[in-house]
């Protein structure tokens, strides 16, 4: 390692060191060692290769010194050629060892990245929906990217650097002392001129880095929010593009100015340290040359000391960085383990069993539920807040009991916030009940396997989500092995096939982020087509036709009627066409069922349902009556 590279590396490390204290965590270190166990043999070979490489790098200056001595002694061409050949062989060996070390470093480092990313990704997928409702996506993605890479650096760089630099330093000091203890001591006295300025510069660089990071984070947040379809629409509607551009330019300009200042400061620092290196080299040549002229030192030893000088400073500075690098890597591991240690509150039991085959019932037995508090499902660092929200734990469902027999359709109606969607989410086990039980086919959903539950329950929400993928890919989420013919059949039944066929790429058409390249009605019909493709035995429709106009609603309602035939269904809707066909209607208010019965019975009771009907559906009935349509038929 050259002095310039050592200077840059040391200043970078000092910058990190000044960002704040990072105490050594023994528990994390032990977990890291256990995590590295699958790579123990490769790590051992890696360490051996690093040691051999360090040894070879110190041996080369010794041979160079012998070449000088042979020339001074006029030993002839033979010894000089032999030593030159050895130097060439060592250079080849050094290159080969470096290549092997780099390969091993890449294999181990990339393996660590793979293992960590898979572990975090798999674990995050097991987290309950409440976790995703609270977590900031960017913070979570950062754990899979920045922190995982930071943890990987402990294996890829720090470990090899500590070993090779330790061996190199020991051998270098030993050889230099053997050649001249005086020159070695004088060389070490210049070391503070190299290290002390780095700490001052490191503090300044750290301050500027923190300031730049703050502005970069603000720019990232602004772009993430403003460049989404809803965010861009909001800015355009309120006519503030110029203000947004001005605000972004202010932050970007600040980052530019900081970058210029830090670049100049860093270059001045490295240049000054290069000067220190040159002074140290001059000292070696001056003192060593004087000793050689007086006959107390061989000329070759002067060359050896000069060549070893860079191998003295560079390892010392690298090793002084090691603690900072190790601490930074451990912090990254801690942030990764912080996610891995967050226990999912919804888990599959070891003895979980599949749901029974055939038509199944859905039963709520005295169900009580409260949304979990933040400390049970989230982390302050993932929410990017100082302290987690302490709210939560207040009961929102109070003793719900009802049954949907196989093949029946039950509708839930009520005011917004009454608990209808919460009730539906408990069937799909997006949340778990606090008391009572939700049963499908007589089996508590907490006792069944996730795979069986996913294969049994299908759900369409009001804002059906689509991935930024093709139409075919979005549909195949429901049935990965579905053929194109099956996809087209589902689209036809959702009254969407003619629209998709008119697209230039058909099924391969990419729908855009959240499906925003499609209209609201088209997005909703595509999610309904996905449900039709899945063919679940239990269907949950949570305002599934809310985004459709009257014409599309009628078409899709016919498809839904076909999809619901013979299946157990729970429907949450305000539309008359959906509710009237239900076998039973449950009126939910404040987390309780206040009325139950069919459409006619509830109207006759003249209670809360009749009130909802009069306020929400009477207008539609009047329009139908004016048009001469008999809704009773």
CA distances from 28 to 34, 149, 332, 536 (A): 10, 17, 10, 45
Pair (328, 367) in one structural domain? no
pLDDT of residue 160: 65
Pair (309, 369) in one structural domain? no
Domain membership flag for residue 245? yes
The domain tally of the chain equals 2
Parallel, antiparallel or unpaired: strands 435-440 and 362-370: antiparallel
pLDDT of residue 618: 55
Domain membership flag for residue 480? no
DSSP character at residue 429: T
Segments of the chain scoring below 70 in pLDDT: 1-25, 150-160, 190-203, 205-206, 213, 217, 229, 239, 270, 273, 313-314, 317-318, 320-325, 327-328, 384-392, 546-553, 555-556, 559, 574-578, 616-633
Q: What is the CATH classification number for the domain harbouring 540?
A: 3.40.50.300
Domain membership flag for residue 511? no
Give per-residue burial for 579-594: e unless 16+ CB within 10 Å, then b: bbbbebbbbbbebebe
pLDDT of residue 632: 45
pLDDT of residue 405: 92
Pair (11, 152) in one structural domain? yes
pLDDT in tens, 222-276: 787 777 767 777 777 776 778 888 888 888 898 888 888 877 877 777 677 677 7
Pair (286, 421) in one structural domain? no
Q: What's the whole-model pTM score?
A: 0.73
- How open is the CA angle 231-232-236, to the nearest 5 degrees? 120
Domain membership flag for residue 528? no
pLDDT of residue 548: 65
At what angle are helices 159-179 and 299-340 packed, to 10 degrees?
160
Cβ neighbors of 459 (< 8 A, separation 6 or more) are 424, 428, 531, 539, 540, 541, 542
Q: What is the CATH classification number for the domain harbouring 187?
A: 1.20.1560.10
Asked whether 372 and 345 are in contact (CB, 8 A), the reply is: yes
pLDDT of residue 362: 93
Pair (156, 88) in one structural domain? yes
Domain membership flag for residue 211? yes
Closest listed residue to residue 107, CA positions, set 151, 43, 150, 50: 43
Distance in angstroms (rounded) separating the CA atoms of residues 80 and 84: 6
Pair (195, 336) in one structural domain? yes
Q: How far apart are the first and last CA of the chain?
A: 88
Per DSSP, the three-state class of 558 is helix
pLDDT of residue 126: 86
The parent domain of residue 183 ranges over 3-340
Pair (369, 334) in one structural domain? no
Pair (420, 567) in one structural domain? yes
CA distances from 11 to 41, 202, 309, 413 (A): 34, 5, 20, 65
pLDDT of residue 629: 47
Pair (107, 195) in one structural domain? yes
Pair (252, 369) in one structural domain? no
pLDDT of residue 366: 94
User: Residue 570: beta bridge partners?
Assistant: 410, 540
CA distances from 623 to 172, 556, 617, 629, 631 (A): 95, 21, 10, 9, 11
Pair (285, 405) in one structural domain? no
pLDDT of residue 206: 63
pLDDT of residue 403: 93
Domain membership flag for residue 51? yes
Pair (176, 277) in one structural domain? yes
Q: What are phi and psi of 224, to 5 degrees?
A: -60, -45
Domain membership flag for residue 206? yes
Domain membership flag for residue 631? no
């Amino acid at each position: 390692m050259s002095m310039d590279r050592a200077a840059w590396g040391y200043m970078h490390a000092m910058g990190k060191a000044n960002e704040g204290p990072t105490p050594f965590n023994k528990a994390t270190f032990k977990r890291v060692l256990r995590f590295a166990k699958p790579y123990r043999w490769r790590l051992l070979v890696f360490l051996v290769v690093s040691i051999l490489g360090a040894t070879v790098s110190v041996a080369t200056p010794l041979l160079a010194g012998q070449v000088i001595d042979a020339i001074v002694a006029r030993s002839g061409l033979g010894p000089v050629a032999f030593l030159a050949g050895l130097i060439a062989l060592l250079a080849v060996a050094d290159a080969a060892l470096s290549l092997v070390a780099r390969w091993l470093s890449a294999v181990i480092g990339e393996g660590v990245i793979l293992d960590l990313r898979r572990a975090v990704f798999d674990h995050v997928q097991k987290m309950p929906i409440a976790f995703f409702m609270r977590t900031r996506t960017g913070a979570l993605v950062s754990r899979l990217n920045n922190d995982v890479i930071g943890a990987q650096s402990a294996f890829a760089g720090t470990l090899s650097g500590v070993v090779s630099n330790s061996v190199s330093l020991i051998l270098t000091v030993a050889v230099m002392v053997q050649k001249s203890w005086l020159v070695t001591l004088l060389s070490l006295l210049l070391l503070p001129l190299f290290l002390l300025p780095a700490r001052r510069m490191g503090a300044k660089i750290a301050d500027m880095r923190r300031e730049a990071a703050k502005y970069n984070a603000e720019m990232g947040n602004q772009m993430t929010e403003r460049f989404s379809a809803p965010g861009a629409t909001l800015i355009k509607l309120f006519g503030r593009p110029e203000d947004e551009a001005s605000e972004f330019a202010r932050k970007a300009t600040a980052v530019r100015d900081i970058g210029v200042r830090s670049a100049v400061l860093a270059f001045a620092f490295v240049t000054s340290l290069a000067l220190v290196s040159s002074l140290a080299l001059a000292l070696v040549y001056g003192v060593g040359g004087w000793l050689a002229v007086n006959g107390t030192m061989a000329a070759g030893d002067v060359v050896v000391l000069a060549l070893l000088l860079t191998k003295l400073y560079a390892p010392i500075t690298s090793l002084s960085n090691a603690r900072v690098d190790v601490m930074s890597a451990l912090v990254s591991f801690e942030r990764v383990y912080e996610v891995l240690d967050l226990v999912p509150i919804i888990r599959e039991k070891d003895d979980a069993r599949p749901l029974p085959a055939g038509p199944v019932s859905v039963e709520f037995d005295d169900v009580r539920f409260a949304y979990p508090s933040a400390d049970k499902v989230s982390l302050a660092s993932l929410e990017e807040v100082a302290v987690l929200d302490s709210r939560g734990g207040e009961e929102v469902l109070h003793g719900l009991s009802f049954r949907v027999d196989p093949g029946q359709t039950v509708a839930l109606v009520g005011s917004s916030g009454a608990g209808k969607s919460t009730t539906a989410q408990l069937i799909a086990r997006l949340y778990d009940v606090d008391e009572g039980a939700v049963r499908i086919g007589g089996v508590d959903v907490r006792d069944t396997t996730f795979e069986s539950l996913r294969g049994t329950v299908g759900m369409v929400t009001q804002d059906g989500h689509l991935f930024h993928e093709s139409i075919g890919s979005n549909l195949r989420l429901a049935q990965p092995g579905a053929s194109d013919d099956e996809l087209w059949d589902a689209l036809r039944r959702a009254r969407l096939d003619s629209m998709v066929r008119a697209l230039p790429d058909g099924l391969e058409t990419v729908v855009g982020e959240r499906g925003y390249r499609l209209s609201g009605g088209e997005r909703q019909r595509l999610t309904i087509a996905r449900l039709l493709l899945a063919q679940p035995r239990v269907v949950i429709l949570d305002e599934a036709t809310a985004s459709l106009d009257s014409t599309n609603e009628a078409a899709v309602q016919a498809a839904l009627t076909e999809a619901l035939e013979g299946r157990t269904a729970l429907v949450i809707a305000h539309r008359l066409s959906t509710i009237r066909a239900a076998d039973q209607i449950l009126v939910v208010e404040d987390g309780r069922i206040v009325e139950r019965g069919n459409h006619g019975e509830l109207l006759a009771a003249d209670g809360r349902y009749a009130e909802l009907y009069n306020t929400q559906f009477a207008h539609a009935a009047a329009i139908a009556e004016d048009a001469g349509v008999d809704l009773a038929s």
